[in-house]
A and B are shown apart, each in its own frame.
Chain A
Amino acid sequence: MKANIVIKPHLENFATWATDKPEVLVLSADLTNSCEVNLFRDKFPERFFSVGMAEQNMLSFASGLAREGFEPWLHTFSVFLYRRPLDQLQLSVAYPNLPVRLIGFLPGVTTPGGVSHQAIDDLNVLRGVPNMTILEMGDATEVESMLDVAHAIKGPVYIRMLRGEVLRIFPQSEPMIFNHARVLSQGTDVTILTSGIATEEALRVIPILQRKGLKVNHLHISTIKPFTDPQVVDALHSSKHGVITLENHSVIGGLGTCVAELMSEYGIGKRLLKLGLQDVYSHGASQKYLLREHEMDAIALVAAVERLTGMKLNISNDEIQANREIQIHSSAKSEAL
């Protein structure tokens, strides 16, 4: 896996991108530095509004701004966008289909902050909200190119965002495309769909699987809703042994559920293994530790492939770790909130 690390990919990119867009405002609920929007604040203080720790007000306040022609970009942790102010999100923002951008940081187990900070059911909650578009970031290129994608959408957009030390997996010359999966490898034995940080886990092990002779169809998904990409349907159809999804979210209502719905809609009668949080809350620990605990890491993916194909692959954890070219999660990151 060839990849490098980008430090705080949103910080400068967003401030630069917003320069010629006077309609773009930022609302921040006391997490400005944590959400890498402090440079925007410093460059454009007249377009930055601190609303304090009051997210119910923030969601409805944003709707008023959007009704008058502005495009508010709300920056806070995901849990504070979809849990506490869900009624405001629904009635003030989603029902009127207003162009409010909900930039949700700390998806799933990317934070050691424990249950109060881990957004593990945001996709499940927000997929059911009409008019909502949902994007999930898998690397620095997507963090950067998501801005144009979200900006072009007339209604509300929720973004599962990454921050801090973020891998660049996809070249900058290949920006994310709305409702269009990235086909990372092709093959007809098994289809693997991943999203967010789970793609990085999959990329550690898929070359090893291929060396063992397995033909893997691997798609990276960055648009969770709508979920109508024909490439995905083709990939589900073409798999001999079945389908595996791996996601940094509960297996209820996230990517796995999207795939299950699509398979039933198209009558694709194959097995589907959904890797992710198995209907449990998590707790405060490092990302690596939690990915292992919840069987959402590369080695868990190997086990799923074995279950699906009936093959015994004899891939050791050491082999996978050797393929891990970059240690991306420093101790400094887990300190910061």
Chain B
Amino acid sequence: MINKSLDSNQEIKLVEKIAFGIRRRVLSHTINKNGGYLSQACSSAEIFASLYSSLLHLAPLDQPLPSRDFIGVPGPKNPEYITGAEFHGIKGSKFDRLVVSPAHYALVVYAALIEVKRLTEESLENFNRDGSTIEMIGGEHSPGFETTTGSLGQALSQAGGIALARRLKGDTGLTWVFMSDGEFQEGQTWEALSNISFHNLNSIKVIVDVNGGQVDGLMKDIMSIEPLSDRVKAFGWEVDVINGHDIVKLLGIGRKRTNKPHMVLAYTNSSQGIGVLANRHPLYHYIRFTNEEERKVYQEFLETMKL
């Protein structure tokens, strides 16, 4: 069932605006710091914008929260430790959870949280600053991160445990996972797919940024995972394949209620919305400008960015 009534023009415009804001913020940051996970913003901006502005049912925050200073790692000597889930609002049985698996998307998550007014704009100035929680690769104390991820392939299994626990407690909220396609090279991902469908953990929804790239180049040249949809379906999942920049599709398919665990394979483009980045094809993983001229090209592009 797809709830079409909410796919109003207004809602789509809002997601568009947030996605644009994510790209602009990440580009600006990449220029200022001469480096960043820029292509990840290009490929996943609509996904995170759809999640945070429409799809996720999170407790509201009265106002954007500032990022915390680093509060120490979890352990017996640090009982006050809290995770970045506070930016998702208080936990409740009806509310959703979001586990972000590829923690190197952190800058995209921070930008999205700022756009949806869950994180203060100034917090981004603490990015990669010693003693800050706005780390380059999100830790579980970083805004928007609910668990420790980043060693790829673990979040889906973790979300399985969260979803099972929530079923035992009678929660009705969904457990969402954002994944990257590279994680389907990890064996654990397939263990988790089996486990989640075997235990009928149908409150799990996964959106995958299928950008087809990894550090060494194109996935099809490094280690192909296709046909991904058929493979995941064969593990007992309901799978939808969409264009990950198509907001109407993201909102529609994202709201679909299924009686199997649901995976949305969102095929994306690593230079979407920042065309000059296509010159880097196919090595997009981390962008650092090699000379002043290149930096200027991006600066000029930034100045032309208008919604």
Residue positions of A touching B, CB distance < 8 A: 49, 51-52, 54, 56-70, 72, 87-88, 91-92, 95-97, 130-131, 154-155
Contacts and interface: CB of A to CB of B under 8 A. Distances in A.
A60 B192 contact: yes
Contacts of A88: 151, 154, 157, 188
B159 interface: yes
Contact of A64 (B76, B158, B188, B191): B158
Contacts of B74: 95-97, 131
Interface residues of B, number: 34
B168 interface: yes
Nearest to B149: A91
B285 interface: no
Interface of B: 73-76, 140, 147-151, 153-166, 168-169, 187-188, 191-192, 194-195, 198-199
Contact of A56 (B148, B157, B168): B157
Contacts of B165: 64-65, 67-70
B161 A63 contact: yes
15 contacts: A56-B153, A57-B157, A57-B160, A60-B158, A60-B192, A63-B158, A64-B158, A67-B165, A87-B151, A88-B157, A88-B188, A92-B158, A97-B74, A97-B76, A130-B73
Given A88-B154, A155-B76, A67 B147 contact: yes
Nearest to B79: A154
A96 B151 CA distance: 14
Contacts of B162: 64-65, 67-68
A55 to B, nearest CB: 8
A255 B192 CA distance: 36
A290 to B, nearest CB: 32
Contact of A70 (B155, B168, B187): B168
Closest 3 CB pairs of A and B: A64-B161, A68-B165, A60-B157
A68 B150 CA distance: 20
Nearest to A68: B165
A204 B216 CA distance: 61
Contacts of B191: 52, 54, 56-57
A68 B166 contact: yes
A82 B159 CA distance: 22
A61 B160 contact: yes
Nearest to A92: B154
